[in-house]
Structure 1
Amino acid sequence: MNGPMPDASPASTAPDATPPASRRLISLDALRGFDMFWIIGGEGIAHAAAELTGWSVLVWLAGQMHHPEWHGFAFYDLIFPLFLFMAGVAMPFSFEKRLADGGTKQELVRHSIIRGLVLVLFGMIYNGLLEFNWPETRLASVLGRIGLAYMFAALIALHFGVRARAVWIAGILIGYWAALRFIPVPGFGAGDLSPGHTLTDWVDRQLVPGRLYQGDRDPEGLFGTIPAIATALAGNLTGTLLKSSRFSGYAKAVLMIAVGLVCLAAAWVWNFDFPINKNLWSSSFVLHCAGWSLIFLAIFYLVIDVWQFRKWAFFFIVIGSNSILIYMAQAFVDFEYTTEFFFGGALKHAGAYQALLGAIAFVFVEWLLLYLLYKKRIFLKV
């Protein structure tokens, strides 16, 4: 992905409270890696550790490693929108770099469109497009939503100022809520937010070809991509703040936390009328995830980019620097076989620790691949 490249240099002995606006956001790669860690095997480690120890904190964490069936929120729901939010954060830095290298606004527009469409294609390939089983192929995907939301958010960001982008976010969220509340759905009427009965589900059934994930609905469908644009735009505004030289690093972190708390409060209030729901990517869900994304980014930014305590984050930086590659690799590389090949013999003698050590070994194999690519400076960029 485009955006700040990682820097694993040792922590400075004199942290700079006001990082230069042009400095690469190492915290962004670290947070992206933290986010991806749960997808590539962190979830399995959490479950195995909870089952082995029975510790209440691990049992709670394992309980967060699932998506609610419909309304509600768990930590696992944050992974997808946090990634999209960070794509928006990287946007101003990427645009500035391309313009500094001699690019034009028209070239940025073209690049954003191409990047979005390539991610849509990657998502379809991930879901089995190359098997050529058209009626049964699921064309909606996580990468597809990221691509489309990023593309439209980028086009908005390139043509509108900060205040106008904020208005766009408000307009998208309110408009999406109004559409689901007041536009009648054939057979179900207006305002029915039951699974399969919503306007979002109906539009997807009409417009999305191939198989929908849940038969009559798809959590990564087309209509739900509209509020996802607001998620990317929220990240874009955050990136604009971080790129600014008007505020110190501390002030930026405090401001992100404050706005994050406001978003969480607004989501809690809106939840009473428009429930927090990842399947619908509801407006309250956008605010809720934006709130947590801001808080997580503020913490990572403060520790890594302001205080410059970086060595601890190297594990996550390696993952975050090649996030799309490791996501796609899971569809084509048999990491379970590789883990069994290298560690299967030892794991057979691990007794009660077999599941936990096996989950750790699985992540280690993936991380080792990423580390080798990192050392060779090989990164999959779109």
Structure 2
Amino acid sequence: MNKTTPKGPKKDPELESPVSADPQKSKRLLSIDALRGFDMLLIAGGGTFLVLLKGKTGIAALDWVANQLTHPAWNGFTFYDFIFPLFLFIAGVSLTFSLNKGRSLGLSKATLYRKTFIRMLILILLGILYKNAPITFFEPQQIRLGSVLGRIGLATFVSTLLFLNLDFTKRLLTGLGILLLYYAALYLIPVPGYGAGDLSIEGNLVGWFDRTFLPGRLLQGNYDELGLLTQFPALCLTLFGTLAGEILGRAWLDHRKIKYLAIAGIAVGLLWSLHFPINKHLWTSSFILLTTGMAFLFLLIFYLIIDVWKIRKWAFFFQVIGLNSLTVYFAYSFINFNYTSEKLFGGLYAPLPEGWQEVFQAFGAFLLVWIFLYILYRLKIFVKV
């Protein structure tokens, strides 16, 4: 990981994006960084603030939003389940522009493979650090190997291999094939003591595979939702993201193709869920198709508003977050913004009831995060891998 102070806006920390910090001076797409920033907003304190409002305002709509920002216990779906899949999808969109730029500069496939592979290793190591700090070096069995960053790194590496060797249709079919094989595996491979087709918390194939082959600590005890087998359906989100990136890059905007893929993903995902439940813990194939369809729609909406209709001022708030997504992800782990919020703003909300104090403390913490990222933006400092 390195830190740069470029003369002009550089690429974002997660994956190179077709977005410029100054859209008037670039043909790159502002909408993708804005969409990434919207996604990171819910990770960077915005979600916490809204969840803490639940039951305090008497406004049913706010309570509904708060309920959408928590994960279901097992089967089911809320908007919060969409956050990480959307990030994986955006990684694929950005990857398309990054690889096309590399090829236009004359970089060989081997060079692009090597760069993405090294990046994958760095993200895996950073993910282990993030999930385990302080790392229990003398108790390796307590170290969790599964991580968000590791999953992003692996998904982008595999998607790089497929993007550089398969066309649009073959990549689409490859992704669908992976989802079908994953579905077949969970229903046909018997789990010792439970048999085949058991999708319960205790008896599913994913959990048995993690308990048997994944060293270290499993987050949920008997399985880890960022474990081994779930890598396969998860990488399909990034692979499908490359399809969206190719549509934007080659056709500028193909309404029909994006619309058809979005509708198909949502419709098939919902229909498939009648037999194969939507489940983020297992990253079921129905869950992948549903979130892929939603991601296509969100990308289309952001693109139309920001890059086609040129309604951009509102997007700056999200862009500041999206250009330093890796920074904000790590900042929340290593910097206690809640403590600073209490020290700076505690006197303002001290007269309020205790339940409201935590709401304003969370809001103050998020405000500090955004100011921190804005300062980096103004200094043109963007942390990337």
Could you tell me which residue of structure 2 aligns to residue 344 of structure 1?
A: 346
Q: Over aligned residue pairs, what C-alpha RMSD do you find? A: 1.9
Q: TM-score, normalised by structure 1?
A: 0.92
User: For 1:223-262, what aligned pairs fall within 5 Å after superposition?
Assistant: 223-245=229-251, 249=253, 252-262=254-264
Name the amino acid aligned to 2:55: E
Q: Evaluate the alpha carbon distance shift between residue 34 and residue 163 of structure 1 in structure 2; reply closer, same or farther with a 3 A threshold.
A: same
Instruction: Report if aligned partners of 2:279, 2:287 keep a CA contact under 8 Å in 1.
Output: yes
Aligned twin of 2:4: none
Larger CA deviation: 145-154 vs 363-372: 145-154
Letter in 2 for 1:27: S
Identity percentage of aligned residues? 45
Alpha-carbon distance in 2 for matches of 1:374, 1:104: 32
Residue 15 of structure 1 corresponds to none
Answer yes or no: is the 8 Å Cα contact 2:214–2:227 preserved in 1. yes
Deviation, 1:10, is 7.2
Q: Distance in 2 between matches of 1:253 and 1:83?
A: 22
CA distance in 1, matches of 2:356, 2:221: 39
Give the gaps of 5 or more residues in structure 2: 1-13
Q: How many residues align?
A: 369
2:43 alignment partner, one of 39, 64, 75? 39
Q: Report what 1:267 is aligned to.
A: 269
CA distance in 1, matches of 2:247, 2:155: 20
Tell me the CA shift for residue 8 of structure 1: 4.7
Q: Could you tell me how far apart the structure 2 residues matched to 1:300 and 1:140 are?
A: 31
C-alpha distance in structure 1 between counterparts of 2:59 and 2:288, whole Å? 32
- 1:49-64 to 2 correspondence within 5 Å? 49-64=53-68
1:276 to 275, 278, 281: 278
Q: Quick one: which of 364, 371, 383 aligns to 1:361? A: 364
On the 8 A contact 1:176/1:283 being kept in 2, the answer is yes
- Secondary structure of 1:71 counterpart: coil
Contact 1:11 1:310 in 2 (8 A): no
CA distance in 2, matches of 1:256, 1:349: 51
In the TM superposition, what is the alpha-carbon distance from 1:52 to its structure 2 partner? 2.9
For 2:150, the equivalent position in structure 1 comes to 144
Rounded Cα–Cα distance in structure 2 between residues aligned with 1:153 and 1:8: 26
Could you tell me how far 1:347 is from its partner in structure 2?
2.3
Mark the CA change 1:370 to 1:362 in structure 2 (over 3 Å): closer, same or farther: same
The alpha-carbon deviation at position 253 of structure 1 amounts to 4.2
Counterpart Cα distance in 1 of 2:327 and 2:219: 23
Change (3 A) 1:7 1:310: farther
Does the alignment pair 1:164 with 2:208?
no
1:7: Cα distance to partner? 3.3
Give the letter aligned to residue 236 of structure 1. T
Q: Give the Cα–Cα distance (whole angstroms) in 1 for the partners of residues 220 and 322 of structure 2.
A: 30
Q: One-letter code of the match for 1:99?
A: R
- For residues 324-360 of structure 1, the C-alpha deviation after alignment (integer angstroms, 9 at most, x for no partner) is 1111122211111121222122221355753433222
CA 1:11 to 1:299, structure 2 compared with 1: closer, same or farther past 3 Å? farther
Deviation at 1:181, TM superposition (A): 0.7
Given the alignment, which residue of 103, 110, 113 partners 1:109? 113
Q: Residues 201-260 of structure 1, C-alpha deviation per residue, up to 9 Å, x if partnerless?
A: 111112211010111101111110011111111101110111013xx53xx345323321
User: In structure 2, which of residues 211, 219, 224 is the aligned counterpart of residue 213 of structure 1?
Assistant: 219
Per the TM alignment, residue 75 of structure 1 is displaced from its structure 2 partner at its CA by 0.4
1:317 maps to 2:350:
no
Matched, 1:99 2:112: no
Per-residue CA shift, 1:307-335, capped at 9, x if unaligned? 11111011110101111111112221111
Which residue does 1:176 correspond to in 2?
A: 182
Distance 1:208 1:288, change over 3 A: same
Counterpart AA for 1:160: L
Q: Deviations over 1:277-297 (max 9, x none)?
A: 101101000001001111111
Question: Which residue is equivalent to 1:3?
Answer: 16
Greater shift in the superposed pair: 256-265 or 215-224: 256-265
Q: Distance in 2 between matches of 1:49 and 1:178?
A: 42
1:72 alignment partner AA: G
- How far apart are 1:131 and its partner, in Å? 3.6
